[in-house]
Structure 1
Amino acid sequence: MAEKSISLEEDRAHYEIPSESQYHDTDVFGREEGHDIHYKTLSWQLVAVLMIAEIVSNGMLSLPSSLAVVGLVPGIILIVFLGTFALFTSWILIQFKLRHPEVHNMGDAGMIVFGPIGREVLSFGTIVFAVFATGGQILAGQISLAALSDNKLCLMLYTGIFTIPTLFCALPRTLDQLSLLSIFSVISIIVAGIVGMVGAGTQFNVSNYDITKSSDFTTAFFSITNPVFAYAGHFMFFILISEMKHPTHAMRAAWVLQTFATGFYVIFAAVLYVYVGPEVKSPAFSSLPIKWQKAAYGIAIPNFLIAGSLYSHTAAKLLFVRFFRNSRHLHSHTFIGWGVWVVLILIMTAAAFVLAVGVPIFNYLIGIAASLFASWYTYGIAGFFWLYDTWVYKGKMPAWKERWPMTSLSVATIIIGAFICVAGLYTTIKEIVAAYDSGEVSEPFSC
């Protein structure tokens, strides 16, 4: 970890979270009075909505199938544990951001903790994961459109149709404009989930579900990655907090996010699994009778659309701020500023589309990207952030020993992130090999 050589008195002063006035003097966007474009406009309520819109999305549709592999009780325990763990790492990330107002994204945090190489690795990972996540939402939109139209068109056409509004929704320069759309996104996924549960409850009898279930490691862990990745939104937190009016309120948004997400995930996954049974599909809506399937997918479309837009916006925003930090193009309506912004959105969305339709194993590549990056961004890397700040600003090894409970938790967080990363890669690659052996893999750019 990179270390700064400043006095202990300065270290201890820096460790304390600055006042809001000091924060706004040194953060990435600075004082915005007199500028054309104001970024720091989000309330904590709107940040909570944005967090829910990007996290509670198509990932939850795989949770019932996870319960079908490991059983009802272990599955629920896992969802609750991961949600609680994600709340803990949210707190660490938010504290780190408040101590380092200049941090805009994971790349900036990587520069502080790991140096220039860390900056490039974490920036690259953020962009790659955001583009893959956009592609995943586009695929969810493809499935929805195909279900609504009884598969009358080539799937690649559905993908292209859904990509166009995803691109346009990502174009606003500031997140407050996307936050208004995210309100509809959150409403749509809640209502879609309720429709799915009602459909399962009215169309199926209680099935022969398992309280607990044994399985081989590869199958079990591959299913366990579903709830892990259902919480994979922390890579956006620094960018979201950077556009808050009152960044010190960020933890309120995190509490709302994790409480709602964990509760909704448990109820949705349990209801779909208990009624549909071991044959529940992923995505879960596809297990419903066609009328209920169409209703659920149709209502969920705004969520898939806005979540995809948020991800591509995030990838573009990271590069845009890096290009134009401390430049007039960041805050003014310049031709260069808007031109670069539009090009970045086009590139990110186009890349997501090409990956979604041009890579036969794209669904598995999402798993690889999530294993490589989401395991760290949501869980593992938070441990490094706490250890770094405590070492540099509180007195090195004695500070770690004095705060041994947090030190132990931070080390455990790093170990868990590493385990999820390695095991996730191993099981996903095995699934890819099995898919090729079975002939499941389709041709690129095919229907």
Structure 2
Amino acid sequence: MESKAPGTACHSDERLSTAHPVTYDDVDVFGYEGNHQIVYKTLSWQMVAVLMICEIVSNGMLSLPSSLAVVGTVPGLILIIFLGIFATYTAWLLVQFKLRHPDVHNMGDAGYILFGPIGREVLAFGTVLFAIFGTGSQMLAGEIALATLSDNKLCAMLYTGIFAIPILIFSFPRTFSKLTHLSIAACVSILVAGLVGMIGAGVHPTPNRSVQAAKSSDFYSAFVSITNPVFAYAGHFMFFTLISEMRRPADAMKAAYWLQGFATTFYAVFAAVVYAYAGNDVASPSFSSLAPKWQKAAYGIALPNFLIAGALYSHTASKLFFVRLFRKSRHLHSHTVRGWAVWTALIVASNGAAFVLAVGVPIFNYLLGLVASLFAAWYTYGVAGFFWLHDAYYDFDGWRTWAKRWPQTSLAVFTIVAGAFICVAGTYVNVRGIVDAYRDGTVSGAFSC
């Protein structure tokens, strides 16, 4: 990448001082695509909303009823709704930052603007790491679904391998537009699966269940449960990449509103209904608390979502490397041997790494929580505050703008503090969980059934 920070060409002061104003496409990561073989900027805001919903509203929601079992219905629902509103605000900050810096393609590019070369490498590394762990998480969700459907007739590692193959295949398209129709099916599948799960829980409620409006708990147990709704919204790390492939990036916030509105409503209803009928003994994932036939129905219907969400994650990890390697070169927009060879290698590597981590690391779920705490907490919440503070300072009147617009400044600082708290506390509970698991002997062997 150029030594100049991505996006600085579109600062408002430069527009005002230039005889020929810089347009979005002049500095956009993909530029003008009129005569290119591979065209990226084809997504409508509706399709971006579908991709966002498919990626975020996935297997993470299945842990929400167990969160209510720890803290109670009222605190749990308040947290889910608050986090949905908060994530909408941080999405707005992210979109505004992207519109001011069109050549920001991923969190690494944003990190360069905020913190220089070190910031770029740290945020890019975190994006790739979280995306690969997200792919592995979807593989494990697919493993649980396949095992449930077949009554556990095969080794769990084989189920993971079987599910990893279609994820690998669906990761291959070079543009997100090739995944939009599959993502529509994936969105429908998780919605219907959630409805089936709620109906199944209502038809066969847990006998003698205990349901509480509010519960007291120690900090460790409470925050472990809180991380479930926190990370159920952890999809902002993909937003820059998705917006970069929109026909009209100015419409990006419409997609974010639909995403957060759907996710918050669906999360709250699903968590409340399943917890009400399953009680404090609800499993995580919650479909496993259903009667056998309902389990199979719910998991079977949810399979397309697990599949496409995993493909979106691995696609994102690969694209970060690909765009960084070939930005402004013919390999980005043309069907060249080198371009496709590198893309294929990246897709295979990202999916292979996800599979090895999922089946070969006994503490994978703890590590997933750790990675989410270290990076996703910042991507969804904390770093958005830095976006606003940076642009308010450099595009306007420095610290005077901060003082004049003190409510917005206060909110920006709050997002940074919130991200830092989630990061530190989440890291603590996950490290403690790893220590406790090894101490209690509950850690299985690597590559075991």
Query: Distance between the aligned counterparts of 2:264 and 2:141, measured in 1?
Result: 21
- Flag as ranges the 4+ runs of structure 1 deviating above 4 A: 13-16
The number of residues matched between the two structures is: 441
TM-score (norm 2): 0.96
Structure 1 residue 21: Cα displacement: 8.6
Gaps of 5+ in 2: none
Q: Is the 8 A contact 2:15 2:21 kept in 1?
A: no
The percentage of aligned residue pairs carrying the same residue is 66
Letter aligned with residue 239 of structure 2: F
* Residue matched to 1:334: 336
Residue 64 in 1 paired to residue 65 in 2? yes
* Residue matched to 1:118: 119
* Residue matched to 2:99: 98
Structure 1 residue 430: Cα displacement: 1.0
Query: Distance between the aligned counterparts of 1:142 and 1:208, measured in 2?
Result: 30
* Range 250-259 or range 390-399, more displaced: 390-399
Letter aligned with residue 35 of structure 1: H
Out of 209, 214, 239, the position equivalent to 2:241 is 239
* Residue matched to 2:26: 25
Measured against aligned partners, the alpha-carbon deviations of 1:82-109 in whole angstroms (never above 9, x if no partner) come to: 0000000000000000000010000011
Q: Is the 8 A contact 2:11 2:101 kept in 1?
A: no
The 5 Å alignment of 1:254-273 reads 254-273=256-275
Residue 86 in 1 paired to residue 87 in 2? yes
Out of 376, 381, 392, the position equivalent to 2:394 is 392
* Residue matched to 2:166: 165
* Residue matched to 2:130: 129
* Residue matched to 1:298: 300
Structure 1 residue 299: Cα displacement: 0.3
* Range 158-167 or range 202-211, more displaced: 202-211
Query: Distance between the aligned counterparts of 2:180 and 2:402, measured in 1?
Result: 39
Residue 150 in 1 paired to residue 117 in 2? no
Structure 1 residue 180: Cα displacement: 1.3
SS of structure 1 residue aligned to 2:433? helix
Structure 1 residue 81: Cα displacement: 0.3
Q: Is the 8 A contact 1:67 1:75 kept in 2?
A: yes
Q: Is the 8 A contact 1:312 1:345 kept in 2?
A: yes
TM-score (norm 1): 0.96
Query: Distance between the aligned counterparts of 2:120 and 2:4, measured in 1?
Result: 15
Query: Distance between the aligned counterparts of 1:222 and 1:3, measured in 2?
Result: 41
Query: Distance between the aligned counterparts of 1:23 and 1:11, measured in 2?
Result: 12
Structure 1 residue 426: Cα displacement: 0.3
Structure 1 residue 208: Cα displacement: 2.5
The 5 Å alignment of 1:33-432 reads 33-204=34-205, 207-432=209-434
Structure 1 residue 170: Cα displacement: 0.4
Structure 1 residue 25: Cα displacement: 2.1
Query: Distance between the aligned counterparts of 1:429 and 1:205, measured in 2?
Result: 33
Q: Is the 8 A contact 1:62 1:282 kept in 2?
A: yes
Q: Is the 8 A contact 1:11 1:392 kept in 2?
A: no
Q: Is the 8 A contact 1:55 1:232 kept in 2?
A: yes
Structure 1 residue 15: Cα displacement: 9.7
Structure 1 residue 395: Cα displacement: 1.2
Letter aligned with residue 269 of structure 2: I
Letter aligned with residue 152 of structure 2: N
Letter aligned with residue 293 of structure 1: Q
Out of 436, 439, 442, the position equivalent to 1:437 is 439
Structure 1 residue 434: Cα displacement: 1.3
